[in-house]
Structure 1
Amino acid sequence: MASVYFMLKHEGFSGSIKNFTRDFVVTEIDISGNQVSKSTTCEDVASSFVEKTSHSSKKLDASILEKTECTSDPPSPESLHLGVILGPIINDKLEQFASSLKSGCSPDQELSLGCFTNKHQRANVHKAVKLHFPFLMTITNQSEIKVKESQDYKELRQLVSEEEADAFFRFTDDKLSGSSYTFLPDDNKEHRTAVHRYLSRRFGKLVETKSFTEKGETSICVRLRERGKPKKRTAEDCRQEEIYTAFTLCKENLETLEAISYMASELGVLPSDFTYAGIKDKRAITYQSMVVKKVSPERLKKKAAEFERRGIHLFAVRSVSEPLKLGRLRGNHFDIVVRDLKPHIYDGPDPLAYTEVLVKAAMEAVKTSGFVNYYGPQRFGITQRVQSDQIGLALLKEDMVNAVHLFFTPDKGDEPQNQAKRHFLETGNAKEALMLMPESKARERLMLRAMNRYGTGPDGCTQAWLSLPHSTRIFYLHSYCSRVWNEAAAHRLSTLGHSVKQGDLVQEVTGTMDDSADASSNQIHVVTEEEERERAYTLAQVHLPMPGNTVKYPENAMGTWYRERLAKDGLESCRFRVSSLKLNVPGCYRPLLAFPRNLNYQLQRERGEGADNCTEVSDGAGSDKATEDQFKLNLTLNFDLLPSCYATVYLREVMKFMVN
């Protein structure tokens, strides 16, 4: 943030935030005013977050195997270990054979895996090979099993990405009657026709295909035929059979969109099939409501163990009748620990006691007066060289190529994703960059696949952005608008002060958790000269607009500031619509101030590094300074904030200390 205006003049203090993920826990408050459930309704998920993360991988594998053996559904990858079925020598030969086929330098057309006299054992070999190597086909000659390259796979691979081809062949091998697989969005009608024709020719007796459009994106859905069902399904049939599964998502050190991308990939659905009320912090343990479409509760539960390996935990899995809507929440509850508190400047005899006084004064002051309702640094990308608002500005200017280059600007370090980004910017080769990009980087891979298919020119870059879910695309535009709002808030307070001025925009504040962070235009009132003179409104009622195409701007000096600020970025005539990306930013109104609710806090003196050795020290005049130096002061606090308000911004006001 370029400049930060502090509301209050208290001294503040320093401290360490987010030493451990457990020091920053965020729990969503649902539309009914309750914290989302942290308890589970299925046996597949452990009851304690700490217990789950402490399980060894060996125990986890054993639990997965046990669950797989007692179900009639297709085995998971962990249940079919080729090294166990084939033995280490044959397994190594198979991996070498598969690797050489992929690289195009295999001297052999097929490989024998040996003889298997037991029918059940042969079935396991077939399943395991297809599960781990979808591009191979298995052939049985009496009791001998051979593998060779699948021509069907090879043909599909010329039409879609490797990840899609792998997922589709695993889907057909599972043979779950009535199940479906959806390819990534594809706006090229001719290409979709080619895919339809291939599927009809190669799998026509097994599957039926249908193109559908959702949120402006067209995809191909493939469904396994059900016995006794008619060959063609009507749109009404599809609507009636829609399945929605709700759950509480608990994630650790993951972005919400990153977690969704991973789950979508594992479940074979689109990221847009997941709906949520709001995005949560990455550097924290967070609990939030989520709904996924086209996935049953039973199927989602069976994926729980795999998700846990990525720091994703599911609670309260259940069927519901509809998806979630963005913004359908009443706020968030925070449980935070700030460690090793110290005064900013102090060389007196009792720093702990002095710090306690500072903390109590700061907490009470902000509780009463509130804090500037800035968007937090995490909205823009704390550690990234190019922050999300810069990308949003390029998109608003419809400079798709520059926006792609900004998106692929590598951060510091030689991590694989940075190497892949660097390679793309240096060579422009999307295919090679895609091969270097880690599987976990779903957004980057989607864009690279699109540019590999459509090119890296303006049209190809537009297709790259369209390959991302709508919620991801609009996020970058909102980031830019958030940056402008932050600067507007600092300018408003530093130039017009803390009193309400003529031309300000205000809204009545009820003081309940029913308040929204945004206000609709018909609730906004322009302060008159008489109302300023009579002090009819307070600063807590002042709202500033987020730029967009439906908002009005303040009718005072702030209105001029907005116009000049947008013109500075070349947006003086911006309509806040990007038609080519199907994006529209209407704008909204955001309260200038925010207030913590249901605030509780406690100071603790801790001996050394461990919390278990916590010991209170007397504040009396006889305390020994050498003894005092052995202790650290921690602050534990919990509170609620309305939607879109940031706990890190609240702490920054309390501490007068930059918090990320």
Structure 2
Amino acid sequence: MGHDSFRRGGNRGRGRNESSWYNKRGRGRGDSRNRNKSRPANKNHGEQRESVALSDLKEEQVFITEYVSTGKGFRGILKSRFSDFHVNEIDIDGNEAVLTDMNIPDTPKEELQDTPNSEVEGMLTHLITAEKLEQIRQVAAGKSEAVVEIDVTDLTKEDRGKIHNGTKSLFGKAIVGSTVTRGDKKYISIARYNFFNLTDRRRKWLWPHPFTYFLLYKENVDTIQAVTQMAEQLKCSASAFAYAGTKDRRAKTTQWICIRQYEPSKIASAVKKLQNVKIGNFCFKPKTLKLGQLRGNRFRIALRQVAAEESIIQSAMEEFRDKGFINYFGLQRFGNSSVVPTYRVGIEILKGRWKEACDLILKPRAGDPWFITKMRETWEQTRCAETALAKLSPRNKGIEKQILFWLATHDNDYKGAIQHLARNLRMLYCHSYQSLIWNRVASRRLREFGYQLIPGDLVYVDNITDVEAEQNTVDMDVALEQAIESDVKPDADGEEPPAEQVSRFKALVKPLTETDIASGTYSIFDVVMPLPGHDITYPANASGKWYEELLAEDGLSSEMLLRKAKKESLPGAYRKLFIRLEKLEWKIVSYEKPTDTLIWSDFEKLKGDQESEVKGEAFYKALLLDFHLPSSSYATMALREIMKTDTSALYQRMAEKELSNEALKSVETEQNIVSVDDKAREKQEEDNIVKDNEHTESFVEANEPAEKKPKLE
């Protein structure tokens, strides 16, 4: 995630980022052309690309350089339209999240005991005394504004429930009861119902479990933004919502969301006001959804304008199916800017160079809104935090503003400015650096040792399950979510780690021996490679030494990743080197127009939209893919294996423009050929007509009667 993602996340669910402020300020000031207009969720023909800054970071800059297969790649366009990229979450039990039901379940009705009032009054008199019961009666009748308190410290939970149910049975909605605790005493407080008191308007939760689960289907909006918009409509904090992870913005995605004790009807009413978001499949569960609590995702992807023979595509896909792909950390891990990739900030944080870290975060870069650019330029020129801070909107709560505010109010305390950020946000920069090292070692490992097992390669020990193994991979998306929604306070310096630490990660893996390899028990898909850390096992071969060499290039070592503050330390983690896709399917299709829909979403199928089939030969060709990936793997890294091209957004847009121009030239050439043929055909037809006329005239003349022939003078 780039700095732009951090800036949006820094709003902590309030939905007031720089972009929205900029768009509002732009109205009436000649900036309306820069506003992103909302578009209908269901009208694919209205889909257009937003005018957002594209990342200029290339794959080779983060050492994404190698390929598993040796076959020829082919050109195609990834995410030409957001409807070309579909993601469905797969939960921890292996179930796919598919929107199939948008009905709102009816709220259960409270079952009141059919007990005569006399018996209820007798029970209440026994539990709370007749005097208290009469006081409640006066309150219910509006004759008293007093609050009746009943000491229930010595009563059981069952008896307290009888008091609540009994008073509700006798006086209905005229009263409101609640249980309160003061010190070591417990009271039931009963007052007259007040419509203007939000607490009084609470309804008893009658659903079977406390957590409301529902599927969130969204189009061309990221998970954080969708949740923020729902929270604004429900007048609650975005942190009230829980989900297993974020899904792509430029896509159509479906995932599980949960919230504690919110009526489905209220949630549905709020979502109706939003564009590009639909919900459904309501259910109720006893526990909340946790970050990272998923097995993976199903991807359905269309590569448009595929420029290759069908035999080349089929060959590439078959090799892809058998050999898989290198499990690189994708470009999203390293930010949007080649000038300041996030791992550079991570290096400075790990080295304790706080001023350098702040300068990098505030450094000017391309693609920012004008006021962010102005803030960065002001800082670059003046190094005055207060002056730079004045360039930002009061609504801005991004990381840059947090740093500038701290510097302005704490006499340029650079260390404090970084450590004042939420812990998980700080650690994202460090995780980005770990990801860079992993990519570098993975690329060199493949170049020097090839696609084969070698002694010293690491594999998980035999008794660890696939789910446990997956949980020991650092998931940066989870870290980002924790950074945005958590209220973790900065760690205090000086917190010493325990004298003896249990080596959690070292016990997870073992190095392969020649005997292990010869046994055939393990395959190349079992190999894991570590992210660097202070408590990690490195491969017992040459690649193990590369980690320390690369860390040393940046003035670091594994020991330096053990920090004074325990929560700042990087113990390390393991990641599969190669991934073989599950349930991979593909087909080649033709389509007539660039705006044709090639993949139908959950929502479109639920509406009953019929998938159209192209009849005969169409001008364009696309490759449709369908596969499953574990949660920590990137679909873009899988696709680069078959395409053999850079998957960066900037490259894809350039390639799309080039292919479109080629297609246009092809059409024009065809039209020119047709035009030339038409002219030749017309000329030939004219010549034929002339010849026919001449022949007819000769024939007529030759067969005219003698008396009709002109006489010679």
TM-score range, shorter chain: 0.5 to 0.7
The alignment status of 1:461 with 2:417, answered yes or no, reads yes
Secondary structure of the structure 1 residue equivalent to 2:365: coil
The alignment status of 1:654 with 2:636, answered yes or no, reads no
C-alpha separation between the residues in 2 aligned to 1:430 and 1:235? 51
Matches within 5 A, 1:286-365: 286-292=253-259, 300-305=267-272, 308-309=274-275, 311=276, 313-316=278-281, 319-343=284-308, 355-365=309-319
C-alpha separation between the residues in 1 aligned to 2:345 and 2:292? 23
C-alpha separation between the residues in 1 aligned to 2:412 and 2:230? 28
Match of 2:621 in 1: 633
Letter in 2 for 1:480: Y
**What stretches of structure 1 of length at least 5 have no aligned partner?**
45-225, 344-354, 619-629
Match of 2:88 in 1: 27
The alignment status of 1:501 with 2:454, answered yes or no, reads yes
Is contact 1:518–1:591 with CA below 8 Å preserved after alignment? Answer: no
C-alpha separation between the residues in 2 aligned to 1:319 and 1:494? 51
Do the aligned partners of residues 20 and 434 (structure 1) sit closer, same or farther apart at CA in structure 2, a change above 3 Å counting? farther
Match of 2:247 in 1: 280
The alignment status of 1:576 with 2:561, answered yes or no, reads yes
Moved more, 380-389 or 289-298: 289-298
Higher relative contact order (CA 8 A, sep 6+): 2
C-alpha separation between the residues in 1 aligned to 2:73 and 2:463? 30
The alignment status of 1:433 with 2:389, answered yes or no, reads yes
Match of 2:69 in 1: 8
**Aligned to 2:365, which of 393, 407, 411?**
411
Is contact 1:392–1:476 with CA below 8 Å preserved after alignment? Answer: yes
Deviations 1:440-497 (A, max 9, x none): 765555555555554542244135413xxx4433332222211111111111111122
Is contact 2:243–2:290 with CA below 8 Å preserved after alignment? Answer: yes
Match of 1:222 in 2: none
Give the TM-score, by structure 2 length: 0.55
C-alpha separation between the residues in 2 aligned to 1:234 and 1:459? 44
C-alpha separation between the residues in 2 aligned to 1:516 and 1:266? 39
C-alpha separation between the residues in 1 aligned to 2:232 and 2:376? 21
Please identify the structure whose Cα radius of gyration is greater: 2
Match of 1:541 in 2: 526
Match of 2:199 in 1: none
Match of 2:682 in 1: none
Match of 2:445 in 1: 492
Match of 1:146 in 2: none
C-alpha separation between the residues in 2 aligned to 1:517 and 1:3? 22
C-alpha separation between the residues in 1 aligned to 2:267 and 2:352? 39
Is contact 2:584–2:626 with CA below 8 Å preserved after alignment? Answer: yes
Kindly report the root-mean-square deviation, in angstroms, between the aligned alpha carbons of the 2 structures. 3.9
Secondary structure of the structure 2 residue equivalent to 1:481: helix
Moved more, 257-266 or 332-341: 257-266
Is contact 1:434–1:445 with CA below 8 Å preserved after alignment? Answer: no
Is contact 1:451–1:463 with CA below 8 Å preserved after alignment? Answer: no
Tell me the CA shift for residue 659 of structure 1. Answer: 1.5
Tell me the CA shift for residue 583 of structure 1. Answer: 3.2
Is contact 2:325–2:580 with CA below 8 Å preserved after alignment? Answer: yes
Tell me the CA shift for residue 23 of structure 1. Answer: 0.7
Tell me the CA shift for residue 318 of structure 1. Answer: 5.3
Tell me the CA shift for residue 530 of structure 1. Answer: 3.3
Tell me the CA shift for residue 563 of structure 1. Answer: 0.8
Letter in 1 for 2:417: C
Moved more, 452-461 or 321-330: 452-461
Moved more, 535-544 or 425-434: 425-434
**Aligned to 1:552, which of 537, 549, 552?**
537
Do the aligned partners of residues 322 and 449 (structure 1) sit closer, same or farther apart at CA in structure 2, a change above 3 Å counting? farther
C-alpha separation between the residues in 1 aligned to 2:396 and 2:278? 17
Is contact 2:88–2:98 with CA below 8 Å preserved after alignment? Answer: no
Letter in 2 for 1:505: L
Matches within 5 A, 1:613-628: 615=614
C-alpha separation between the residues in 2 aligned to 1:559 and 1:285? 41
**Aligned to 1:477, which of 430, 433, 442?**
430
Deviations 1:165-209 (A, max 9, x none): xxxxxxxxxxxxxxxxxxxxxxxxxxxxxxxxxxxxxxxxxxxxx
C-alpha separation between the residues in 1 aligned to 2:85 and 2:621? 17
Is contact 1:264–1:271 with CA below 8 Å preserved after alignment? Answer: yes
Tell me the CA shift for residue 21 of structure 1. Answer: 0.9
Secondary structure of the structure 1 residue equivalent to 2:638: helix
Moved more, 277-286 or 551-560: 277-286
C-alpha separation between the residues in 1 aligned to 2:305 and 2:96? 29
Is contact 2:215–2:256 with CA below 8 Å preserved after alignment? Answer: yes
Moved more, 550-559 or 511-520: 511-520
Is contact 1:604–1:616 with CA below 8 Å preserved after alignment? Answer: no
C-alpha separation between the residues in 2 aligned to 1:330 and 1:430? 46
The alignment status of 1:391 with 2:345, answered yes or no, reads yes
Percentage of pairs with the same residue: 30
Tell me the CA shift for residue 338 of structure 1. Answer: 0.5
**Aligned to 1:400, which of 323, 344, 354?**
354
C-alpha separation between the residues in 2 aligned to 1:562 and 1:494? 16
Tell me the CA shift for residue 365 of structure 1. Answer: 0.8
Is contact 2:85–2:299 with CA below 8 Å preserved after alignment? Answer: yes
Tell me the CA shift for residue 376 of structure 1. Answer: 1.3
Tell me the CA shift for residue 421 of structure 1. Answer: 3.9
Deviations 1:388-446 (A, max 9, x none): 22222222223333333323334314514333444444443358636624857655555
Match of 1:517 in 2: 470
Is contact 1:502–1:526 with CA below 8 Å preserved after alignment? Answer: yes
Do the aligned partners of residues 414 and 513 (structure 1) sit closer, same or farther apart at CA in structure 2, a change above 3 Å counting? closer
Tell me the CA shift for residue 314 of structure 1. Answer: 4.3
**What stretches of structure 2 of length at least 5 have no aligned partner?**
1-61, 106-175, 188-204, 473-504, 598-611, 649-713
